[in-house]
């Protein structure tokens, strides 16, 4: 349960960081030294990497799995 909560929190943080980067991009359009967007996108990529590692760990340990009703149906 804790791992699922961590996945959801990382996903929401990833979306939040993407939104913050968009706001920084819109505000820094006319500035020459605007590097805030790159910094926020670096945070977003780091969060995405952390999310990928947590999901891979969850699948590896068996704490996360595929429970879709159509999974495993062979045609």
CB 58 within 8 A of CB 3: yes
Q: Report the pLDDT value the prediction gives residue 42, as an integer from 0 to 100.
A: 94
Q: Report the pLDDT value the prediction gives residue 74, as an integer from 0 to 100.
A: 67
pLDDT (mean) for 59-64: 91
Domain residue limits, the chain: 2-61
Spatial neighbors of 3 by CB under 8 A, at least 6 apart, are 54, 57, 58, 63, 64
pLDDT in tens, 9-48: 999 999 999 999 999 989 888 877 778 888 999 999 999 9
Where does the pLDDT of residue 69 fall: very low under 50, low under 70, confident under 90, or very high at 90 and above?
A: confident
Q: Report the pLDDT value the prediction gives residue 23, as an integer from 0 to 100.
A: 92
């Amino acid at each position: 349960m804790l791992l699922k909560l961590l996945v959801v929190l990382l996903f929401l943080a990833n979306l939040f960081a993407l939104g913050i980067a968009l706001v920084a991009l819109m505000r820094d359009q006319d500035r020459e030294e605007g590097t805030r967007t790159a910094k926020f996108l670096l945070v977003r990529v780091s969060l995405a990497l952390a999310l990928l590692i947590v999901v891979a760990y969850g699948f590896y340990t068996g704490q996360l799995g595929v429970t879709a009703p159509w999974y495993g149906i062979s045609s």
